[in-house]
Each structure stands twice: as C-alpha cells, then as structure tokens.
C-alpha cells in the first residue's frame, strides 16, 4: 500500500508518501494480521503541517479495514520528530533493536494495537443497526 500527499496550493507536487504492507505470514501460522509501515517521508518544507500524521492515519484506517490486529514499524532512536509523531498517534515502544540500521544506529520497534479500533467499529455498527431498527419501527407506527 502506497499513499501519497500532494501540494494543493502549488503545482500539485508530491510532498509526502507512506509505504506499508500487511504481513499475512503471521496469520498463516495461526497468528493475526499485522500491518507494517516501511517508510514515511515528507518534503522538508512541508513538515510540521500534519501531512505525516494524516498519511499514517490513513494507512492505519486501511489496516483496520483489512482486519489487522496491530501496526508496527521501526525508527532510529535519535529521530525525535518521528518518535513524537508516532507516539502522538498512540504507538508505544516495544523494544530497542541494537545496530539495526546499516549506519550502526539502534532503532525502536513501535507498535500500535488496532483491536480497540475493531471494538469501537463493532460497537458503532451495533449502535447504527439499533438506531435503524428504532427508526424503522417509528416509521411503521406512523403509517
């Protein structure tokens, strides 16, 4: 899955991208589907405008639609901007991966449980069905 953001005020230039996937191997082994964010980048001049958060939120919504139980990613321990963005979206630090990157830098693996979103969606669907049922009964009584 690749989601792009374009500059609407300028010349329609691409200003951000998130690339992610759904890992089905864990589900095939009896586990659950896992969404993985492989890369997020936003053009330097467009940072701090919510574009990165918007792209990640859209990726998460797609993962929820695909019934993923969690979303995971890695980011350098020194990347404060990325850590702030993801932690503000609810990701938690799962573990530190020593010398994860080719440059020798450590990474944090971050995780976001998507199960609460599935629960909220089920509750919303139930409430919507319930409301439709009441509306239907009221309409029947009037006719």
Euclidean distance between CA atoms 75 and 93, whole angstroms: 10
pLDDT tens-digit readout, 15-68: 999 999 998 876 677 778 999 999 999 999 999 999 999 999 999 999 999 999
Q: List alpha helices for the chain, DSSP H.
A: 25-28, 51-65, 80-88, 115-142
If we measure between CA atoms, which residue out of 130, 16, 62 comes closest to residue 138? 130
What is the pTM for the complete model shown?
0.77
pLDDT tens-digit readout, 56-75: 999 999 999 999 999 999 99
């Amino acid at each position: 899955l690749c989601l792009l953001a374009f500059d609407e005020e300028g010349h329609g230039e691409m200003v951000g991208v998130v690339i992610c996937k759904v890992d089905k191997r864990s589900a095939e082994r009896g586990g659950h589907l896992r969404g993985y964010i492989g890369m997020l980048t936003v053009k330097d001049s467009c940072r701090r405008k919510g574009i990165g958060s918007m792209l990640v939120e859209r990726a998460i919504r797609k993962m929820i639609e695909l019934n993923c139980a969690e979303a995971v990613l890695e980011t350098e321990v020194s990347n404060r901007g990325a850590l702030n963005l993801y932690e503000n979206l609810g990701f938690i630090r799962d573990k530190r991966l020593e010398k994860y990157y080719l440059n020798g830098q450590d990474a944090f693996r971050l995780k976001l449980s998507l199960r609460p979103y599935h629960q909220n969606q089920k509750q919303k669907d139930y409430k919507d069905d319930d409301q439709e049922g009441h509306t239907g009964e009221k309409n029947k009584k009037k006719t």
